[in-house]
């Protein structure tokens, strides 16, 4: 076989690490020098090529037979059935009975086309995506404060020169290990400050004089941030010249933080007063950044908490200044681009509101339809999933595994089963695809062309390195074929470069303006940060913010300290990730080395709590509340608070953490409450070892994976295993 290679980017997180894929019978990957990863890859990146030749790949469409089983069928038969389901549902129940659920891992081209497909081919308002579970609170807060939502409004490399980095609610050592290199300067200066109820791998990086771990109680990030802002004002550390020149709303924020004096903040959060004061003083000393992640945002008060983090950064004069800043760490591979071009219930391409008459006219003109033909805004993800089997009768899922990732998954599972027709596009038979009536096999990352947008707002090229399986197809082709069968208006190209050109025209004039970009330009290696009309914008807030007056908005928020109750149990469950697994595990649980290192969910529990409950290390436990029960093996560790337990969210079945989470959402962003769930924990001796995984964690010596970290690993061991 002739050897081929392509320069592309890792299929996993939004850091978009650069790699080269070489194909000569088997595909292999090597790290490639790029500002975000500098040639390094994490365990997931090194092993990503294994999935391309996985025996679990779907290679032909599947349809549900009368006996209840899924069987292979032809593309014509599958697509005819899909079109018929959409057509019959609309005729019987109306346009909004058809729905789309997208994903933050889709390319910009596919995310754009999916939004267009929903609104033009189906005429439905019912579209949202799994990014609602990831970035929605930070996006809402950033749009309100800055007039723009770009995860990091500066290049990642700007962090290299920081002397202080305050990291709220993100375990980057597990989620995006090459990012650790950009924390090295702050660690050397003793200024890495990590807020987390767990002593996570990232929190351990603060040891030996490298920084401080603020082990706040779960769900108290908002009062903590209000308290830090109070100290900044009380100690005269606020940058009043910056506030007067570049912001509005200061007086209201000053009044809102007045009740959060240091002693009250310490009592509420569990963070001692000296650590609170030291944190603010370091941030005010210069070359400082505040970064937030999902631990801050995945709460019913997530938008308020992200807003409080922005307020602190603005009060200190950090945002838009050289050598300092505020940003939020996008998680999914195209979490930034995926939310800009039409997958969200209320958005049109370019990050425009679907209720803006000018935006409707512009986008409708690009699509060749009347603005009146566009539906109104839809409903966000959790509400959309709540309509399954009721108002929503037919659902297409593309790039998401909601049976593992959504809150209160047993209710979601029941809704999926109650649908008239469930259609799933995937490259593996995920837990959601297992429930489908029609499964459509699609291409993987190294088998397709397209673009992605990194957590910095940098638009990059995904390039094809090898052909996909004979029976798999691009979602662009699938949407084109269904649209043709439905007699949909507009044009439906299957060429990613042509779709991108249309996206660029549709986004022109919007907040996320890609109008100056094309595949051809990106192939020259140009650094392309949006908005990109005629030039790149790596630091959009350097001179002004995106509001009409150029000023940022300081927005007052309030906090009501969480009141412990017996509802659901006496412990607080927080969920998160393992280094070797990713999202719902659809991909990583099929990689031999990764799953060998983390084959099962482990419940982290404090020794005092374990002793009180009669739980020993490695014992099987039941974690339960009124929504369900999860069974896992116990990891007894000092790395977690005595009132808190931790479960990863990568696993399915009895190990699925989202059996326990509740479908309560933030009133502004509709982000579900994933990080503050009340549970009971008890020994579960009746459960067999086989029911919950494959035994103890395996320590792997594979050069692509490195040693698996134990909960007590030191910082030097973490650095070694990260391969950075």
282 and 300, same domain (yes or no): yes
In a domain, 63, yes or no: no
Same domain, 111 and 181: no
- The reply to whether 31 and 160 lie within a common domain is no
Please tell me the pTM assigned to this model: 0.92
Q: Let me know whether 110 and 179 are in one domain.
A: no
Compute the distance between CA of residue 674 and CA of residue 664 in angstroms, rounded to an integer. 9
8-state DSSP, 117: I
CATH code for the domain of 652: 2.40.40.20
Residue 611 contacts by C-beta under 8 Å, 6 or more apart in sequence? none
What are 83's two structure tokens? 């079109």
Any domain includes 77: no
Same domain, 236 and 347: no
pLDDT of residue 255: 97
Q: HSE-up of 623 (CA within 13 Å, CB side)?
A: 35
Residues in CB range of 587: below 8 A, 6 or more apart: 11, 51, 428
Domain that holds residue 715: 571-722
Task: Give the tens place of pLDDT for each residue, 373-424.
Answer: 999 999 999 999 999 999 999 999 999 999 999 999 999 999 999 999 999 9
Distance of alpha carbon 318 from alpha carbon 716, whole angstroms: 31
Q: What Rg do the C-alpha atoms of the chain give, in angstroms?
A: 24
Residues 16, 101 share a domain: no
Question: Do 284 and 317 contact (CB within 8 A), yes or no?
Answer: no
Half-sphere exposure of residue 122: CA atoms within 13 angstroms, side-chain side: 32
Q: What angle do CA 453, 455, 457 make, to 5 degrees?
A: 55
**398: domain CATH number?**
3.40.50.740
Residue 704: per-residue pLDDT: 30
Choose among 395, 398, 375: nearest CA to 384.
Answer: 395
Q: How many domains does one find in the chain?
A: 4
Residues 370 and 517 in one domain: yes
Phi, psi of 343 (to 5 degrees): -75, -25
pLDDT at 1: 52
The answer to whether the beta carbons of residues 249 and 280 sit under 8 Å apart is: no
Mean pLDDT of the chain, nearest integer: 91
Q: Dihedral sign for Cα 212, 216, 222, 226, please.
A: negative
User: Are both 122 and 141 inside the same structural domain?
Assistant: no
- In a domain, residue 559? The reply is no
> Angle 631-590-169 (CA atoms, 0-180°, nearest 5)?
60
Residue 491 lies in a domain: yes
Q: What is the pLDDT of residues 476-515, one digit of tens each?
A: 999 999 999 999 999 999 999 999 999 999 999 999 999 9
507 and 405, same structural domain?
A: yes
Q: Please check whether residue 539 lies inside any domain of the structure.
A: no
| pLDDT (0 to 100) of residue 2 | 65
Identify whether residues 367 and 452 lie together within a single domain. Answer: yes
Which residue, 310, 328, 346, sits at the end of a domain?
Answer: 328
> Which tens digits make up the pLDDT trace of 526-551?
999 999 999 999 999 999 999 999 99
pLDDT at 701 over 90: no
- The CATH number of residue 207's host domain is 3.40.228.10
Please measure the distance between the N-terminal and C-terminal CA atoms of the chain and give it in whole angstroms.
33
Enumerate residues 6+ apart whose C-beta is below 8 A from 183.
159, 165, 167, 172, 192, 205
Non-local CB neighbours of 303 within 8 Å, separated by 6+ positions: 137, 140, 141, 297, 666, 668, 669, 671
Give the model confidence (pLDDT) of 31-44 as tens digits. Answer: 999 999 999 999 99
Longest dimension (CA), the chain: 73
- Residues of the chain with pLDDT > 70: what percent? 93
Query: Tell me, what CATH number does 11's domain have?
Result: 2.20.25.90
Q: pLDDT tens across 322-379, in order?
A: 999 999 998 788 989 888 999 999 999 999 999 999 999 999 999 999 999 999 999 9
Beta-carbon neighbour count of residue 195 at 10 Å? Answer: 27
Q: Considering the domain boundaries, does residue 64 fall inside one?
A: no
Q: Do 275 and 383 belong together in one domain?
A: no
């Amino acid at each position: 076989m002739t050897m081929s290679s392509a320069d592309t980017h890792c299929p996993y997180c939004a850091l978009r690490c650069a790699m080269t894929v070489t194909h000569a019978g088997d595909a292999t990957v090597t790290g490639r020098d790029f500002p975000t990863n500098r040639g390094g890859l994490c365990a997931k990146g090194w092993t990503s090529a294994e999935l391309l030749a996985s025996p679990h790949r779907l290679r032909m469409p599947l349809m549900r037979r009368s006996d209840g089983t899924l069987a292979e069928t032809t593309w014509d038969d599958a697509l005819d059935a899909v079109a018929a389901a959409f057509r019959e549902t609309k005729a019987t129940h109306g346009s909004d009975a058809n729905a789309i659920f997208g994903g933050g891992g889709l390319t910009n081209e596919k995310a754009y086309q999916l939004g267009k497909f929903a609104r033009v081919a189906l005429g439905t308002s019912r579209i949202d995506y799994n990014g609602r579970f990831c970035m929605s609170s930070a996006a809402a807060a950033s749009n309100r404060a800055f007039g723009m939502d770009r995860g990091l409004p500066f290049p990642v490399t700007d962090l290299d020169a920081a002397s202080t980095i305050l990291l709220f609610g993100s375990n980057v050592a597990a989620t995006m290990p090459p990012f650790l290199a950009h924390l090295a300067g702050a660690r050397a200066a003793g200024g890495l400050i990590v807020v987390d109820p767990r002593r996570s791998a990232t929190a351990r990086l603060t040891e030996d004089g490298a920084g401080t771990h603020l082990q706040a109680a779960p769900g108290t990030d908002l009062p903590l941030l209000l308290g830090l802002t109070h100290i900044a004002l009380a100690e005269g550390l606020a940058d009043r010249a910056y506030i007067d020149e570049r912001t509005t709303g200061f007086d209201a924020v000053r009044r809102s933080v007045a009740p959060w004096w240091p002693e009250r903040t310490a009592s509420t959060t569990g963070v001692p007063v000296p650590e609170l004061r030291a944190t603010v003083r370091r941030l005010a000393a210069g070359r400082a950044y505040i970064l937030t992640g999902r631990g801050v945002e995945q709460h019913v008060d997530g938008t308020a908490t992200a807003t409080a983090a922005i307020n602190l950064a603005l009060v200190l004069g950090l945002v838009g200044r050289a050598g300092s800043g505020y940003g939020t760490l996008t998680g999914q591979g195209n979490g930034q681009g995926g939310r800009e071009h039409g997958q969200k219930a209320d958005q049109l391409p370019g990050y425009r509101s679907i209720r803006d008459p000018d935006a409707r006219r512009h986008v409708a003109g690009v699509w060749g339809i009347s603005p009146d033909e566009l539906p109104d805004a839809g409903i966000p993800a959790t509400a959309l999933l709540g309509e399954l089997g009721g108002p929503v009768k037919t659902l297409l899922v593309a790039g998401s595994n909601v049976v593992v990732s959504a809150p209160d998954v047993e209710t979601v599972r029941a809704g999926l089963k109650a649908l008239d027709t469930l259609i799933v596009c995937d490259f593996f038979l995920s837990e959601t695809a297992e429930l489908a009536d029609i499964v459509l096999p699609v291409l993987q990352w190294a088998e397709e062309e397209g673009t992605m947008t990194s957590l910095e707002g940098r638009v990059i090229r995904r390039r094809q390195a090898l052909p996909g399986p004979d029976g798999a197809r691009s979602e662009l082709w699938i949407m084109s074929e269904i649209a043709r069968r439905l007699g949909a208006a507009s044009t439906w190209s299957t060429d990613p470069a042509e779709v991108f050109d249309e996206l660029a025209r549709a986004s022109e004039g919007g907040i996320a303006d890609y109008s100056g970009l094309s595949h051809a330009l990106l192939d020259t290696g140009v650094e392309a940060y949006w908005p990109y009309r005629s030039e790149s914008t790596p630091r959009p807030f350097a001179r002004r913010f995106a509001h009409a007056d150029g000023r940022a908005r300081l927005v007052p928020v309030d906090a009501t300290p969480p009141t412990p109750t017996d509802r659901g149990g006496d412990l607080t469950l927080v969920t998160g990730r393992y280094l070797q697994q990713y999202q719902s595990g659809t991909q990583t649980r099929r990689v031999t080395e990764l799953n060998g290192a983390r084959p099962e969910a482990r419940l982290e529990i404090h020794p005092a709590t374990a002793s009180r409950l009669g739980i020993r290390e490695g014992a099987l436990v039941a974690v339960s509340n009124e929504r369900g029960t999860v069974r896992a093996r116990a990891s007894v560790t000092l790395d977690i608070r005595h009132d808190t337990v931790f479960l990863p969210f990568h696993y399915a079945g009895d190990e699925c953490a989202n059996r326990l989470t509740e479908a309560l959402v933030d009133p502004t962003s509709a982000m579900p409450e994933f990080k503050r769930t009340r549970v009971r924990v008890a020994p579960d001796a009746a459960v067999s070892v086989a029911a919950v995984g494959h035994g103890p964690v395996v320590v792997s010596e594979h050069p692509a994976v490195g040693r698996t970290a134990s909960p007590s690993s030191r910082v030097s061991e973490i650095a070694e295993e990260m391969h950075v």
